[in-house]
Structure 1
């Protein structure tokens, strides 16, 4: 709908609107958990969803020449099976006998076979779900892989930072929500700035600037301790949000400027898919790491018979944590802290990988298909 010059600004505005609405999410969710019930976090989706439907029906109008298109059902099924089995493997990592388990190798082989079948199907499908030729474009390939790694970073924060704030620091869910809100503040600010920088310095330099924010945020999380407090965590989240705002806006605009009009939807969707895939893989992988460290800490303490992985959830419940002995609280906090520290260390490594990928982006080789 917009020219290349207009797209940079519009994409920044869209990201800003998303970010502004996301600012209220963590805080509102924390309020529901603290004052009402966690169920309200899900119930509120009903009126918001209805409002979104009404808005789309009333205000979103487009004129398209409709034509019959085939749906790549087999390609969708194969990639679904490949990713699903991989997620199960990652979730079940426990640091003990995972890699010697027959089930691990069966599911791993199944995932690899399904992925190969997906690639075969995409080569032969008349209308593939994900055309493989877009991956031959250097910009798209690097931006998509970087989106995968940044997607893992985002989920590492949104899923496990609240656990650190509540379980290790002993703060409330509202304060944990605040540390996430700073990321939602940094994201739209950086997206708006990126929309202007793209027209002046190009998407590669803008992306590199965003990667510096990601690495800086990763360093802050590496040195996060209970003594540093929620303010340190909030500052790290802000930097990560700024990095995501810069990179995601640059990726989308760069990708859309490098393909023909009829491929923009597919190319854009591939980038969004990779970021979503990164989030799914990240939460499963880091969940497996966390489970592994918690189990190891329980074994070391000799209290495994009295505890389970689910015992850690008691640290997040103000009503339950008061019922624990000091020894039990210390054991669980140390177990949770060690697992989350490994998560944050991995997050910094991923930020460095993202920065390396971004560095090799082509220098604004924009093909004009306006």
Structure 2
């Protein structure tokens, strides 16, 4: 460049500006980002909705199909299969492209939904819920990975906040919508409702999602997935059947646990030697990733385990209709929505996130402990206050952990790190529903055995209507036992959540990256 041109470039002349090389306009993060984000929110809503929409319908389903002892498996089957496939979808997205994998997951999810609505007995329903979960697991992790692809970490807080709000919305709108559909149509419509929403999501994604990432050749770790599936299934079977279906002295029960532990050892061995493991064990050397996985596991366990049975409690003890039970969970939705959006915006502004998991787990612990102090005569207003506090706490934790993980790992590991953190929260949910279901069933059975006259025979499969048609004296004993068993469950959940609160203090306060 000549001296003259150098001098001209230093002068603040508008004429000179015209001679400068044009500055390239900043490229948009993704051409139709708003439309894409709307479609991804709809996909997230679909996936999260089906983790909770069944809860208000469970009493009605049991009344029609029977199988009270298998009640928790209607929820657990979905959580279990969706958990197992989470890490596989992360690799499939890299290998075949996120768009086609997301579309395939939606189609599989919709097929499972249609078949769930057609189920004629409890076994068929549980199997079809498992099929639905195979698609549902992909919906969550691929949408999170897409956001990780197109949005830099520093700007990701507000997007993650919206995802957290949608997830929280589904946590409460699920039971609300489920109750409305059960009351005015049929429990089968809680599955059929997915079909128009899923088709809409398919059309929007097909039209606006133009992925720009190159496909990456991967070796899929099918052996690792098989070991993980066997381990989780056996552990969940052990926790859900112990003392409920099989006595604790049963050899079959302990053989199931032993087989699960052997499969778990096999999983770790496979992950150490696989060329591309499902979860690279080196990721656990990253302090943020390890803590986020542990905290996510505990939060998932407490949240899904405790909240699955709340609509049942409202219908049985508080005599609410299914739609009223859904409406009564609105304070929790408000809490999650407000705290998710607010924390996301604040994180994007200040570029730090550590304070939010600390405050969130503290609030959630206090809320769970307060729920454990309720009894059947406590005014319903106290329940509203406590679940609103719980929502405020959870909204500050769930999506922030994903953000922390994506910010701490190398860009090439975003997919597998996101799926790993999501995997641990889902594992916590699967085990939590099974463990708390077993605790609840054991507590209820023990209390009824001690309180009811020895000659009292309760129906084997008893829905909400069956409870309210019991003789007055028996119904009073049953309702007290039911409430006490549930409140004990919340006290245990509070203790578990305190452990997550302790772990959040070990997280580092890392500045969010401004770019990938």
Task: Please report the TM-score for the alignment, with normalisation by the length of structure 1.
Answer: 0.92
* Pick aligned residue for 1:216 from 332, 355, 366: 366
Given that 2:306 and 2:489 are in contact with CA atoms closer than 8 Å, whether structure 1 keeps it comes out as: no
Cα gap change, 1:73/1:103 in structure 2, threshold over 3 Å: closer, same or farther? same
Separation (CA, whole Å) in 2 of partners of 1:100 and 1:22: 37
Which structure has the larger Rg over C-alpha atoms?
Answer: 2
Mapping for residues 1-370 of structure 1, pairs under 5 Å: 1-20=150-169, 24-94=173-243, 98-198=247-347, 199-200=349-350, 202-300=352-450, 301-303=452-454, 306-307=457-458, 310-311=461-462, 314=463, 316-317=464-465, 320-364=466-510, 370=516
Gap runs ≥5 in structure 1: none
Separation (CA, whole Å) in 1 of partners of 2:202 and 2:320: 37
Given that 1:298 and 1:307 are in contact with CA atoms closer than 8 Å, whether structure 2 keeps it comes out as: no
- CA shift digits 1:215-271 (9 cap, x unpaired): 221122112222223332222222222212111222111111101111011111111
**Aligned-pair CA distance for 1:330:** 1.6
Separation (CA, whole Å) in 2 of partners of 1:298 and 1:321: 13
Given that 2:159 and 2:344 are in contact with CA atoms closer than 8 Å, whether structure 1 keeps it comes out as: yes
Structure number with higher relative contact order (C-alpha < 8 Å, ≥ 6 residues apart): 1
- CA shift digits 1:260-314 (9 cap, x unpaired): 1110111111111111111110111111111212221232224476126633xx3
Separation (CA, whole Å) in 2 of partners of 1:46 and 1:96: 35
- CA shift digits 1:80-103 (9 cap, x unpaired): 000000111111122797432211
Cα gap change, 1:231/1:124 in structure 2, threshold over 3 Å: closer, same or farther? same
**Aligned-pair CA distance for 1:194:** 1.1
CA RMSD of aligned residues (A): 2.2
2:379 match: secondary structure: helix
2:420 match: secondary structure: helix
**Aligned-pair CA distance for 1:106:** 0.9
**Cross-structure match for 2:14:** none
Task: Please report the TM-score for the alignment, with normalisation by the length of structure 2.
Answer: 0.67
Separation (CA, whole Å) in 2 of partners of 1:304 and 1:293: 20
**Aligned-pair CA distance for 1:322:** 4.3
**Aligned-pair CA distance for 1:33:** 2.0
**Aligned-pair CA distance for 1:343:** 0.9
Q: Which has the higher helix share?
A: 1
Separation (CA, whole Å) in 1 of partners of 2:170 and 2:492: 29
Separation (CA, whole Å) in 2 of partners of 1:21 and 1:155: 13
Given that 1:222 and 1:344 are in contact with CA atoms closer than 8 Å, whether structure 2 keeps it comes out as: yes
